[in-house]
Amino acid sequence: MLKILVTDGMDKGAVQTLKGLGHEVIEQFFEPEELKEQVKNFNVIIVRSATKVRKEIIDSALQTGNLKLIIRGGVGVDNIDVTYAESKGIKVRNTPKASSSAVAELTLGHIFCLARFIRIANITIREGKWNKKQYKGIELSGKTLGLIGFGRIGRELAKKAKALEMKVIYNDILGPAKDCPEYSFVSLDELLADSDFISLHVPGNKDKSPVISKAEFTKMKDGAFLINCARGSVVDEAALLEALNSGKIAGAGIDVFPEEPPQNLELIRHEKISVTPHIGASTKEAQKRIGAEIVSIIKENI
- Helix locations, 91-169, DSSP H: 100-115, 118-126, 152-163
CA separation for the pair 191, 176 (Å, rounded): 14
Q: Which segments within 121-183 are labelled E, that is strand?
A: 144-148, 167-171
Contact 145, 191 (CB under 8 A): no
Which of 286, 152, 281 is CA-nearest to residue 229? 281
Strand partners, 273: 252
Contact 219, 189 (CB under 8 A): yes
Catalytic: 93? Answer: no
Catalytic-role residue among 34, 260, 266, 285: 260
Catalytic: 278? Answer: yes
Contact 243, 198 (CB under 8 A): no
Catalytic-role residue among 48, 72, 155, 231: 231
Spell out the residues 6+ positions from residue 156 whose beta carbon is closer than 8 angstroms to its own.
100, 101, 103, 104
Catalytic-role residue among 23, 48, 155, 278: 278
Contact 36, 60 (CB under 8 A): yes
Task: Provide the annotated active-site residues.
Answer: 231, 260, 278
